[in-house]
């Protein structure tokens, strides 16, 4: 288990660093986040899921508060 944790953490850290580098490179080369969001929404209806989860979260906060 200990060696498993070590290997998984190394892989995760490397992947996170690689992802951060990719995002950084994209941001520096002129990525447009609204355009990305629009593309994802047109493909997976991301905005609909986002609004649904936001409503559920607000409802839970209201009930629990």
Partner 1 sequence: MQPSGSHPTEVKAINKQKFLAELGRLLTFMYEEDRQTALAMYSKMFDDAVEEQMLLQFLVSPTRQAVVLARSYDAKERKLQVHTQSRAEDGYGDVAEGELPPFILSISDLQQEAAAQGIFEPVEVPPQVDENQFSLFDEAAPVEEAPLPVEDAPVSDSVSEFADAVDAFLADFAIADGELVSKSGGAPAPAEEPESLPAEEAEAVDAPVSEAEDVLPVPVEEAAVMELPEEEEEQAPATQRKANVFLLILYVIFAIPLGLLGIAALLVPTLLSLSLAICFVSAGVLVLTAAFGGFAIFADLMVILGLAIILLALGLLLTWLFIWFIGGAIVGLIRGLCHLGGKWCYKEVPVQ
Minimum distance from CB of 64 to partner 1 (Å)?
Answer: 17
Nearer CB in complex with partner 1: 32/47: 32
Binding-site ranges for partner 1 (CB under 8 A): 1, 4-5, 8-9, 11-12, 15-16, 18-27, 29-33, 35-36, 39-40, 42-44
Rounded distance, CA 52 to CA 59, Å? 11
Contacts by 12-21 with C-beta closer than 8 Å and gap 24+? none
Minimum distance from CB of 60 to partner 1 (Å)?
Answer: 15
Rounded distance, CA 52 to CA 56, Å? 6
């Amino acid at each position: 288990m200990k060696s498993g944790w070590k290997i998984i953490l190394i892989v995760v850290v490397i992947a996170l660093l690689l992802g951060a580098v990719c995002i950084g490179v994209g941001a520096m080369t002129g990525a447009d986040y609204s355009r990305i969001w629009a593309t994802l929404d047109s493909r997976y209806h991301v905005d609909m899921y986002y609004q649904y989860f936001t409503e559920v979260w607000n409802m839970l906060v209201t009930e629990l508060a």
